[in-house]
A = this chain, B = another copy of it.
Amino acid sequence: MEMKQRLKCIVAYDGSQFAGYQRQPNDRTVQGELEHAISRILKCPIVVHASGRTDAGVHAHGQVMHFDSHLIIPAERWVKAINKLLPPDIHIRHVEVVPMDDYGFHARFSAVGKEYRYRLKTLPPYEYDPCERRYVTYIYHRVDVEYMRQAADIFIGTHDFRTFAANPIGHNCVRTITEITITEDENGIEFIFKGNGFLRYMVRSIVGTLLEVGRDRLTLEQVHNLLRNRERKQCRWTAPAQGLTLWEVSYE
């Protein structure tokens, strides 16, 4: 019987020049680059499994993926070997061997929590910086951060989030958000989202909605209704991709 190992990898990437995470035949994707690099080491085609997809322009600090290898290589050597074959906008931060039996590790199905961060600057008081444009969303009006915090509390807990999902039809849209923290300092405004999982566009749609509150175009009552009504078409605000980073995926 052939020996095999399952490797869990923590991956950072700059999403600016990818057509998203998921492999596509004619586009440059994170999955495509990872599979290309690892299959060169293993000398056979390989599939990598991530905790979830990220959209075009979305970055990752701590995306997690796994793959199975018929070669037994120490984890530290994997880090160097894969990074050597990856382009500069993807980086393997950590590799470890994980169980691969029936109750073993799966990057997607074993994940119990995720953290996303969203960076934002308002003009004024912040200044547009061309070197930051891929990593921060600039908006052209002031926002009331304290009022946004009150609206953010509405989302905490277990809800059907289909109002804020890209393709809710026929999907289970119940998720639990445990934390939304909004901080403001000289680097701008940062949203931290923690929960057991997030639907496609969910973080960006909630940020977009909170920004409407922050500029006094939605009331707390209206946000309550949006969540309660569970109608995607009622949420018309999706914040741009470039401010968003998949920060961390947690496992038991």
Contacts and interface: CB of A to CB of B under 8 A. Distances in A.
A64 to B, nearest CB: 16
Interface residues of A, number: 19
A141 B89 CA distance: 21
Contacts of A91: 128-130
Contacts of A61: 129
Interface in A118-147: 127-131, 133-135
Interface in A80-136: 88-91, 93, 127-131, 133-135
A13 interface: yes
Interface string A6-34: 00000011100000000000000000000
A194 interface: no
Given A93-B127, A127-B93, A88 B14 contact: no
A130 B90 contact: yes
A59 interface: yes
Contacts of A128: 12, 91
Contacts of A89: 130, 133
A133 B12 contact: no
Interface string A200-215: 0000000000000000
Interface of A: 12-14, 59, 61, 88-91, 93, 127-131, 133-135, 245
**Top 8 nearest A-B pairs by Cβ distance?**
A14-B130, A14-B131, A89-B130, A91-B130, A91-B128, A88-B133, A13-B130, A12-B130
8 contacts: A12-B131, A14-B130, A14-B131, A88-B133, A89-B130, A90-B130, A91-B129, A91-B130
